[in-house]
Amino acid sequence: MNQSRRDAMRIATVLGLAVSAGILTPGLAFAAEWNAKAFDAKTLKEVEQALGVGSVTNSKDVAITGPDIAENGAVVPVSVTSSLPKTEYVAILIEKNPSPLAAGFTIPDGTSTTVTTRVKMGGTSNVHALVKADGKWFTSSKEIKVTLGGCGG
């Protein structure tokens, strides 16, 4: 018991010194820039404007997966996969939510372009995957039916 407490104290001390010395910075954990305007938007069009989306092309190279019927809208698993080269950004938008932008992911070069998360859905809605690849925007959609509301329901 005392040994694990000592180990925890050593680790905390080393991490504290690393932060103090500037070797480890809290900003690294939040490296992606927060786009508050996009997350506060109330319509799909407003989200697209806040993200700087021009024209959008439907693409078979963007796949969105999730359940056909979600029993609980508070925790709906959704995955987006892009086989487009040079994928830079992936967003998940839920059309009928009060704030449509549910998640946004910046994809570093050379990284697998599959993202998986759980989203909150207020009811049955189309879920859109919005992908930026090589400077162009692509999309794919899937309807997910919700039997029990998640946004305040």
Within a 10 A sphere around the Cβ of 109, how many other Cβ atoms? 7
Sign for the CA dihedral angle at 148, 36, 128, 77 comes to negative
Same domain, 20 and 64: no
pLDDT in tens, 126-144: 999 999 999 999 999 999 9
Whether residues 68 and 136 share a domain: the answer is yes
Is 102 among the domain residues?
yes
pLDDT tens string 78-131: 999 999 999 999 999 999 999 999 999 999 888 889 999 999 998 999 999 999
As a 3-state breakdown, the chain gives helix, strand, coil percent values, each rounded to 5, of 25, 35, 40
Give yes or no: residues 7 and 54 share one domain: no
Whether residue 20 is found in the same domain as residue 89: no
Note the residue count of the chain.
Answer: 153
**pTM confidence score:** 0.75
Domain span holding position 14: 1-31
